[in-house]
A and B are shown apart, each in its own frame.
Chain A
Amino acid sequence: MVREKLASSVLILAAAAGSLPARAESGWGELNMTQGVTDISRKIYDLHMIIFWVCVAIGVVVFGAMIWSLFSYRKSRGAVADVTLVHNTKVEMVWTVVPVIILIAMAVPAARTLVEIEDTTKSELTIKVTGFQWGWQYDYLDDGVAYFSHLDRKSNAARELLSGIDPNTVEHYLLNVDQPFVVPADTKVRLLVTGADVIHSWWVPAFGVKKDAIPGFVNEAWFKVDPDKTGLYRGQCAELCGRDHGFMPIVVDVRSKSEFATWLKAKAAEQKQAAAPGGTPEAPAPAPPATASTAP
Chain B
Amino acid sequence: MAEVLTHAEHDDHDHKPHGWRRWVYATNHKDIGTMYLIFACTMFFIGGGAAMLIRLELFQPGLQFFDPQFFNSLTTMHALIMIFGAVMPGWTGLANWMIPMQVGAPDMALPRLNNLSFWILPFAFTLLIGSFFVPGGAPAGGWTMYPPLILQTGAAFPMLIFSIHLMGASSILGAINVIVTIMNMRAPGITLLRMPLFVWTWLITAYLLIAVMPVLAGAVTMLLTDHFFGTTFFTAAGGGDPVMFQHIFWFFGHPEVYILILPAFGIVSEVIPTFSRKPLFGYEAMVYATASIAFLSFIVWAHHMFTVGMPLAAQLFFMLSTMLIAVPTGVKVFNWTTTMWKGSLSFEPPMLFALAFLFLFTIGGFSGLMLAIVPADYQYQDTYFVVAHFHYVLVPGAIFGMMAGVYYWLPKWTGNMYDLKLAKWHFWLSTIFVNVLFFPQHFLGLAGMPRRIPDYAVQFTDWNMVSSIGGFGFGLSQLLFPYIIWKCVRGGERVGNRAWEGAHGLEWELPSPPPYHSWTTPPSDAVIARGAEH
Separation of A76 and B351 alpha carbons in the complex (Å):
15
Verify B337–A69 contact, CB threshold 8 A. Answer: yes
B487 within 8 A of A: no
Separation of A252 and B28 alpha carbons in the complex (Å):
64
Verify A162–B373 contact, CB threshold 8 A. Answer: no
- CB-CB < 8 A to B309: which residues of A? 211-212, 214, 217, 219-220
Give per-residue flags for B230-247: 1 if the beta carbon is below 8 A from chain A beta carbons, else 0: 000001110001110000
Q: A74-B346, A198-B148, A240-B141 are in contact. Are A203 and B450 (CB under 8 A)?
A: yes
Verify B282–A238 contact, CB threshold 8 A. Answer: no
B459 within 8 A of A: yes
Verify A238–B450 contact, CB threshold 8 A. Answer: yes
Separation of A220 and B310 alpha carbons in the complex (Å):
10
Q: A103-B326, A111-B319 are in contact. Are A79 and B443 (CB under 8 A)?
A: no
- CB-CB < 8 A to B362: which residues of A? 59, 62-63
Q: A83-B279, A167-B62 are in contact. Are A174 and B327 (CB under 8 A)?
A: no
Q: A95-B331, A95-B334 are in contact. Are A30 and B463 (CB under 8 A)?
A: yes
B120 within 8 A of A: no
Separation of A226 and B152 alpha carbons in the complex (Å):
41
Residues 361 to 401 of chain B near chain A (Cβ within 8 Å): 362-363, 366, 369-370, 373-376, 378-379, 381-383
- CB-CB < 8 A to A91: which residues of B? 338
Is the interface on chain B under 10, 10 to 19, 20 to 34, or 35 or more residues?
Answer: 35 or more
Q: Which of B42-50, B65-73, B199-207 contacts A (4 or more CB under 8 A)?
A: B65-73
- CB-CB < 8 A to B237: which residues of A? 216
Residues 206 to 260 of chain A near chain B (Cβ within 8 Å): 208-212, 214-217, 219-220, 235-247
Give per-residue flags for A187-216: 1 if the beta carbon is below 8 A from chain B beta carbons, else 0: 000000000011101010100111110111
Q: A162-B63, A172-B457 are in contact. Are A199 and B69 (CB under 8 A)?
A: no
- CB-CB < 8 A to B479: which residues of A? none
- Please name the residue on chain A nearest to B378 by beta carbon: A210
Verify B373–A51 contact, CB threshold 8 A. Answer: yes
Residues 231 to 289 of chain B near chain A (Cβ within 8 Å): 235-237, 241-243, 276-285
Q: A27-B463, A82-B278, A162-B63 are in contact. Are A246 and B236 (CB under 8 A)?
A: no
- Please name the residue on chain A nearest to B446 by beta carbon: A33
- CB-CB < 8 A to B68: which residues of A? 243-247
A141 within 8 A of B: no
Give per-residue flags for A85-119: 1 if the beta carbon is below 8 A from chain B beta carbons, else 0: 11110011001100110010011001101110110
- CB-CB < 8 A to A117: which residues of B? 375, 378
Verify B370–A209 contact, CB threshold 8 A. Answer: no
Query: Could you say which of A106, A166, A205 contacts B379, with CB atoms under 8 Å apart?
Result: A205
- Please name the residue on chain A nearest to B366 by beta carbon: A55
- CB-CB < 8 A to A215: which residues of B? 148, 236, 242
Q: A66-B337, A174-B456 are in contact. Are A79 and B343 (CB under 8 A)?
A: yes
- CB-CB < 8 A to B358: which residues of A? 66
A148 within 8 A of B: no
Tell me if A's interface is mostly helix, strand, loop or mixed: mixed
- CB-CB < 8 A to B65: which residues of A? 161
Separation of A51 and B319 alpha carbons in the complex (Å):
14
Verify A65–B341 contact, CB threshold 8 A. Answer: yes
Separation of A87 and B193 alpha carbons in the complex (Å):
15
A70 within 8 A of B: yes
Most buried by B among A2, A63, A85: A85
Separation of A237 and B375 alpha carbons in the complex (Å):
18
Separation of A31 and B149 alpha carbons in the complex (Å):
32
Residues 322 to 344 of chain B near chain A (Cβ within 8 Å): 323-324, 326-327, 330-331, 333-335, 337-338, 340-344
Residues 35 to 76 of chain A near chain B (Cβ within 8 Å): 40, 43-44, 47-48, 51-52, 55, 58-59, 62-63, 65-66, 69-70, 73-76
A81 within 8 A of B: yes
- CB-CB < 8 A to B334: which residues of A? 62, 95
Closest CB of chain A to B241's CB: distance in Å? 7
Q: List, sorted by A's number, 5 A–B pairs whose CB atoms are closer than 8 Å.
A: A30-B447, A80-B344, A81-B278, A103-B323, A203-B382
